[in-house]
Structure 1
């Protein structure tokens, strides 16, 4: 994945910043520091912009409840081998003499698995000891997807999507449609209307069947390979949120532009096809006329507060210190059954009394129990732009 495409995949970033970073990278590839500056800037924007909207938008919490928020950045860290997930340990597998790389760190459900294809060799290295590990994984076809593109590999009950390395982009959109089974593995529901970089609102489709019908008739659409990215500054287009368990995709994007292009970052690097103005126009008009205004979808869900208790199976986080009125505070019970959250407590140095941010992908119960937590990191209590001594 190219660096600017990684930014695009992260989501929640103004497309103007992504395009700017991309242009900077293309102009000067010789100097790595120039290449990294726009990326770092975009990532800083993500961290500063995403925390509060995700807390308020993701948890259906009234923003007026809070006076303070917690500002923090999740640091990249090499975890000890025993604290890593299967996907983190074994990032590559070899199947039928071809190498595949992990596409998404979340395991897939059994409904995604098709016929068994045999076994593969998985390899990983403990960065602390440099010891190499190998495992034999079972391999399954992913329903509707060619095994020359993606496979599901892993152990019983824990399978992940792996993508073959060094594959070329399909020559036509019909090839993409067939190779990845887009008729069954991709839906078109939530979208944003853009005019250049101007966001004109988010919407939810009531039924996407018609869009699938139109796209299925665009099989001859040719790959547009004159550029590695989809320039959006001078276009009117729709951006569909693209999440697909089968394709190992989480909140990526599909663009349909008025000038006739289908573009996506679903496959880890940009794919652009010219489907024609007529087909694109039908899709855009249908979407606009068969949708309802929708709330913004946060890229990540978060809760934050002061860590008040650490137990073997859970931690407690109290957000009273953030509230205008402490009596409005909530104590969240965060379950730590996932090794990704447990390692933050056991190895990450987090302790009772810290101001923390927790990411989760599950639900919050009526009793304020949080399931699906997968990350925790410390931050600083902030009132507007001022840091508050804890």
Structure 2
């Protein structure tokens, strides 16, 4: 399926794909690119051009507001996770392990704002390992509680002037759902508003709720719901809603929270699959409320991408021309990719991407039009190449 047909079916990011992507720390595999959106864990992807004339009062606008008319191109994606040499890593990539009161915590790779921190737990050594040189590095830094979250599970570690969420590495499941609610203060740290609905194994759309208080009120009546260990449990043969969940305090991004019509909840927020049986009545209350009050919407993309050819590297910018994507290649647009982030500059300095290379840029911000089409918050590049009717990302 290509072009408009695929766009109609896959306009939104299915959180079920995100679950698989988040199962492997430090890597985002199998990229889905469409309208500049990336949904993890799809093997083939389509880049579809859009033609809009939207305006914004700010010079920073979403890519969708730029007037682009792209070809329907299939992009075969591969993982862009790279084990960079020590000197090309960010500090949060370098230092990933801390021991606290006999427990080992590992980085979730996500920052947390200082406003969400609790009391200091003291200063502790944080360890990193240089695989290339087989050498261990260590620094001593401050460690903090995260407000409302038990430090037995999550802590915040200060690295430079940022704070990062670290998770207890031990696999210790809760006895029941109430323990999970309390230990992580889920009513304060989690939002259950964006969801997809599936009935008879068919996607019925993507929706958003204005308020999730009722959902948590129902979940709070399920405190005695027992944890279920079932490696063969699957959601594909059930009717369900699945929430896309992001929590700065918990250090998770676009994970999933299922509520199935036959009375189960399942989530990967804690890296492992946590399943609880809350009963059909509670599940029906949640699903009915969501269906009644959900407003159909567009999905939040997992990430954004821009494809093009590097035409120049100068003035601390990479210049990217997107003509290879255009229906009329004479209508290409030039974009600037700032190299002040080591995650971008290392692609030039170490991965040796250069002028003439076709690349995909991954970014989480907008495009600053007045500054010369500067791509905001770019965080990775993948080398690509043009094939017959598509673009491929090499292994």
Quickly name the TM-score band, shorter chain normalised.
0.7 to 0.9
Pick from 350, 353, 359 the counterpart of residue 353 of structure 2.
350
Q: CA deviation at 1:255?
A: 0.1
**SS where residue 367 of structure 2 aligns?**
coil
Q: CA deviation at 1:120?
A: 1.8
CA gap 1:197/1:97 in 2 versus in 1, 3 angstroms: same
- Rounded Cα–Cα distance in structure 1 between residues aligned with 2:48 and 2:217: 35
Q: Could you tell me which residue of structure 2 aligns to residue 27 of structure 1?
A: none
Is residue 107–residue 159 contact of structure 1 (8 Å, CA) maintained in 2? yes
Q: Please, which moves more after superposition, 54-63 or 167-176?
A: 54-63
Q: CA deviation at 1:68?
A: 6.1
Q: Could you tell me which residue of structure 2 aligns to residue 371 of structure 1?
A: 376
Is residue 44–residue 76 contact of structure 2 (8 Å, CA) maintained in 1? no
Corresponding position: 1:338 with 2:341: yes
- Rounded Cα–Cα distance in structure 2 between residues aligned with 1:281 and 1:274: 13
Q: Could you tell me which residue of structure 1 aligns to residue 158 of structure 2?
A: 154
- Rounded Cα–Cα distance in structure 2 between residues aligned with 1:299 and 1:279: 30
CA gap 1:300/1:49 in 2 versus in 1, 3 angstroms: farther
- Rounded Cα–Cα distance in structure 2 between residues aligned with 1:137 and 1:189: 36
Is residue 350–residue 378 contact of structure 1 (8 Å, CA) maintained in 2? yes
Corresponding position: 1:298 with 2:301: yes
**SS where residue 184 of structure 1 aligns?**
helix
Give per-residue Cα distances to partners, 1:22-68, cap 9 Å, x unaligned.
Answer: 9xxxxxxxxxxxxxxxxxxx848835434627999983268981126
**SS where residue 227 of structure 2 aligns?**
coil
CA gap 1:13/1:159 in 2 versus in 1, 3 angstroms: closer
Q: Could you tell me which residue of structure 2 aligns to residue 65 of structure 1?
A: 69
Q: CA deviation at 1:374?
A: 0.8
- Rounded Cα–Cα distance in structure 1 between residues aligned with 2:344 and 2:391: 29
Q: Could you tell me which residue of structure 2 aligns to residue 49 of structure 1?
A: 44
Q: How does 1:20-99 map to 2 (within 5 A)?
A: 43=30, 46=41, 48-50=43-45, 52=47, 59-60=63-64, 65-67=69-71, 69=73, 73-99=78-104
- Rounded Cα–Cα distance in structure 1 between residues aligned with 2:158 and 2:49: 32
Q: How does 1:1-390 map to 2 (within 5 A)?
A: 43=30, 46=41, 48-50=43-45, 52=47, 59-60=63-64, 65-67=69-71, 69=73, 73-103=78-108, 105-195=109-199, 197-225=201-229, 227-228=230-231, 230-367=233-370, 368-382=373-387, 384=389
- Rounded Cα–Cα distance in structure 2 between residues aligned with 1:283 and 1:14: 19
Is residue 95–residue 119 contact of structure 1 (8 Å, CA) maintained in 2? no
- Rounded Cα–Cα distance in structure 1 between residues aligned with 2:50 and 2:351: 23
Structure 2: give runs of 5+ residues left out of the alignment.
1-12, 24-28, 33-40, 53-61
CA gap 1:211/1:386 in 2 versus in 1, 3 angstroms: closer
**SS where residue 279 of structure 1 aligns?**
helix
With the length of structure 1 as denominator, give the TM-score of the two structures. Answer: 0.82
Give per-residue Cα distances to partners, 1:145-195, cap 9 Å, x unaligned.
Answer: 000000011234221111111131101101000111101111012111113
Q: CA deviation at 1:97?
A: 1.8
With the length of structure 2 as denominator, give the TM-score of the two structures. Answer: 0.81
Whichever structure has more strand as a proportion of its residues is 2
Is residue 310–residue 316 contact of structure 1 (8 Å, CA) maintained in 2? yes
- Rounded Cα–Cα distance in structure 1 between residues aligned with 2:166 and 2:336: 34
Q: Could you tell me which residue of structure 1 aligns to residue 4 of structure 2?
A: none
Whichever structure has more helix as a proportion of its residues is 1
Structure 1: give runs of 5+ residues left out of the alignment.
1-10, 23-41
Q: CA deviation at 1:365?
A: 2.3
CA gap 1:173/1:96 in 2 versus in 1, 3 angstroms: same
Give per-residue Cα distances to partners, 1:189-224, cap 9 Å, x unaligned.
Answer: 211111354211111112212112211222111111
Is residue 177–residue 227 contact of structure 2 (8 Å, CA) maintained in 1? yes
**SS where residue 111 of structure 2 aligns?**
coil
Is residue 197–residue 232 contact of structure 1 (8 Å, CA) maintained in 2? no
Query: RMSD between aligned alpha carbons?
Result: 2.8
Give per-residue Cα distances to partners, 1:235-268, cap 9 Å, x unaligned.
Answer: 1000100111111111110000111111100000
- Rounded Cα–Cα distance in structure 2 between residues aligned with 1:326 and 1:243: 38
